[in-house]
Structure formats: C-alpha cells, structure tokens
Amino acid sequence: MVRQSLDVRLGQQLTLTPALQQSIRLLQLSSLDLQAEIERALDENPMLEAEASPAERAQAEPVVQEISAQPAPSLQNERFGGSRHSRDDDQQERPESSSLPTLREHLLSQLGTTRASARDAALIGLLIDDLNDDGFLESSLQAIVEMLDPALGVELDELNAALSLLQSFDPPGIAARDLAQCLHLQLSQPDLQCIPALSDPKVVDIAKQICTNHLSLLATGNLTKLAETLACDTNTVQQAHTCILRLNPRPGSAWARPAAEYAIPDIIVRKTEQGYKPFLNEFALPKLNINAIYAQALGSARSGEHSALHGQLQEARWLIRNVNQRYETILRVSAFIVSHQQGFFDGGWGYLRPLTLREVAGELGMHESTISRATNQKFMLTPFGTVELKRFFGAGLSAGNGETTSTTAVQTRIRNLIHDEDLGKPLSDGQLATLLEREGIQVARRTVAKYRELMRIPSASLRKSQAQARR
C-alpha cells in the first residue's frame, strides 16, 4: 500500500520576469530589427509615442525651406498648371520607370523574335521561370515533366528541344544544368572579339574536354598533369585555361537584383584629444516617450478603471527603460573595445590586438552571454569603414618578446605578403610561415594554410597558373 505525505522544501530558482526577458531580447536585436520592434509597439500601444528622429528632422527642414521659398501659385496656374509640375510628369520621372529589364524579360523578348509555335513558346516560358539568379535550371527536365498535367502530353524529348532553343539565346551559357554545361555552351558560341584564342579549333576542343571532364583537375593548377591526361602539349592547355578563365560561370548574374544589404552603425568612433572615443549614433537612437495626455487621464481615474491601459502604460515604461539600457550596454562594451584597440584605429587590421569575450565580461562585470548579445549584429563606424563589433575579438598568437598578436592581424599580414609576392614565383604556405617567423610571429605551416583558405586565397600552384593564364 502506497503512503502519501507532504514535504516542505526550501530552494532557489531563477525566474525571468517579462521585463527581463524583453531586455535580453532587445539587446540581441540588430538596429533594423529594433526599429521594426519599436514600430510594432507604437502601433499596438497608445501609451507610447516617438519623437521625430534627427534623420527625419534633417530631411524635413530642407523641404520646408524649399516650399517656403516658392511663390504662391496663381489661380490660372492652379487650373491650367504647366506640365512641368503635373502628376503625370512626376510618374514619368520615377526611377522605376527606367529600370533595366529582368533576365526573364530579356529572354522572353528574344523568344518573341523566333518562329516557335505557341506550344513550344509555352514550354520555353516554363523553363525560363525555372531559372535561378545565376541563369541555371533549378529542376531536372524529368521533374518538370512530372509536374505538368499528364493531359497535356508533354514528353521529355519535346522539352529537350525547347531547352536547346532556350540555350541558344543571349547570354551564352543560359539555362545550363550545371557549371560544366554552362562553360561548354559558351565555348560552342564563342565570342572571338573578346577571346581570340577560341578561333583555334584545337584550343576549343581541349577547353571543352576540360570543362566536361577535368574541372576538378584544372582547379588544382597542375597544368602539366592536365596536359598528360589530355595527351596534348602544355601550351595548348595553357591557352585553353586562359579561355576558360574569361568565360562567365554565372551568365544570369548581370540581370540579378539582390536585395540591398546595409547596416546602420550603432556607434560612431571619433578622434579626440584623448584618443579615439565611441559615441552613440543619434540618427539611429530611438526617442520614446509616454503619451502625456493618456498618462494624465489615467492618473485622475479612479482605482480599478481602465486596467488594460494601466497594463499598457507599464509595458511602455518597460520598453523605454530596456531600450535605453540596451544602448548603455552597447556603449560600455564599445568603450572598452575602443580603448583596447587604439592601434587598430590608427593603423588598421594589422594592428588588432587579441581580445576575448571573457576579458570584456570580467572587466565590465557582465556575463559573457551579455557581451556576445551586445556585439552580435551591432556595428561601429570606424576610419576603416563600418565594422561589426564581434570582428574586434580574436585569439592571440605569439609575436616574440613575450607579446601576442591577434589572428586577424596575422591573416592581414598573410594577405599583404601574398599581394606583394612575385606572380611568377608565388609564396608557398611554408615560405609564408618562415617570413612570419622572421617577424616574430610563431605560426605553423598548416595554420597558414587554414588562414589562407578562410580568406579564400588559392594555393601557390593555383595562383601561379592563374597568373600565367592572364599573360
């Protein structure tokens, strides 16, 4: 028989209040996400209001001055206003009215000049809609056939014929299934003015063989082995390599319109008499207030009335306090980074010192997770451009004399050494390690190789073959 009993135990448990949860969430948001969050709160909470930002005031003042400087229009001008100020002209002057055609529009305009039947034109239009931004087919022809209504009776051979016609359109290489076919198509439609070497049938044949079967071997830069594999002389392989380098691996990219990516700096670093100092970007700093009319009305109301508005008033106060705390935290962290990295602001990435989240957290009396949230997707305007705060962090390497240097500084030095190397005799990873050791930086050859790959710099052999191909 089971006996039941009651026990009383004392314990501690961390409970995150709604205000603390909001504070953590706001700290990890970027400036753009924070603006969206504030706009949502302004729409939902009548107790919250925003002042005009400095950016909005700066944009509004010239407009007011321009309007006030114009004479008042006469009745005749108002009734029979000239075309210069008509709405039709305003529409015509919009930038989007003169925008460039898309890749789809470019291809469809060429389709209209062919003698393709209505059925073939419909199939080509279907293939055009399947192209990605680079101009490649996203789906296999078999998958496209299976997606169509069986009642249409579209067969694979028929779709292949439509694809062949589409692949003859401009730009060369369009509608390829993969990179190899894309390059092969461009070699089949050579532009002899841009690539005169393609007038030689032997060079064209070797280039096609490379694109079809040996792209991975070409990527190693070992042209001697490639010549042996193709059973031809090295000079022909060199010419074919030069031609391939001038082909476009992304034929649709010229028509692609990627979404604009930009960052609003939270911090602006300025040089003062005491050195570089961080300041909050006032143009990105939201100005939030409590609506005085609603707050006064709630203050005079009897207890228990308008309980929903009282809750919204509390939420508005939390938001204002947490937004201010967010920027105070970012400014404190930025101040430590700037004081620690004064050399960077004078000399650039080569003078970046090692810095970890733990060091900043210990100095400021915060948790490492707080420092991580305060530096992720937060940006600082520096003499070397807008930089994400987390880029100032990195482990250290021995630089001789008991000093250390950051991994970012080492990568910058490697990049500079490769930039200044003899193109005919590029530096190997071992030679780069030796040069760094002479400068007092202890780094292994495999570490140099890892940093080089992180910076997407080819190996010495590939850099040499690319340099030869450009000659």
CA distances from 404 to 67, 417, 418 (A): 60, 20, 22
Who contacts 175 (Cβ-Cβ below 8 Å, separation ≥6)?
127, 128, 131, 135, 136, 137, 163, 166, 167, 169
- Show the CA angle centred on residue 309, arms to residues 308 and 311, nearest 5°: 65
Q: How long, in residues, is the chain? A: 471
* Block residue for tokens 């052999």: 461
Residue 157's nearest CA partner among 143, 168, 141 is 141
Q: Where does residue 67 rank: exposed (0-12), middle (13-18), buried (19+ CB within 10 A)? A: exposed
> Whole-model pTM?
0.58
Tens of pLDDT, residues 388-417: 999 999 877 766 666 677 888 888 889 999
The structural domains of the chain, with segments of one domain joined by +, span 104-169, 180-255, 267-297+305-392, 396-470
Which residue has 């299976």 as its token pair? 146
With beta carbons less than 8 A apart as the criterion, state whether 217 and 180 touch: no
The tens digit of pLDDT for each residue in 16-44 reads 677 788 888 899 898 889 999 999 999 99
- Token pair of 201 as six digits: 């049938």
DSSP state of 113: T
Residue appearing with tokens 């909470």: 45
Question: 426 and 464 in contact (C-beta within 8 Å)?
Answer: yes
Q: What is the mean pLDDT of the chain?
A: 83
Which class does domain 396-470 fall in? mainly alpha
For residue 18, whether the previous peptide bond is cis, meaning omega lies within 30 degrees of 0, is: no
Asked whether the beta carbons of 35 and 281 are under 8 A apart, the reply is: no
Interatomic CA distance for residues 110 and 189, integer angstroms: 17
- Chain segment 292-309, per-residue pLDDT in tens: 887 777 765 555 556 677
The two tokens of residue 350 are 């080569």
pLDDT tens for 115-169 read 999 999 999 999 999 999 899 999 999 999 988 888 889 999 999 999 999 999 9
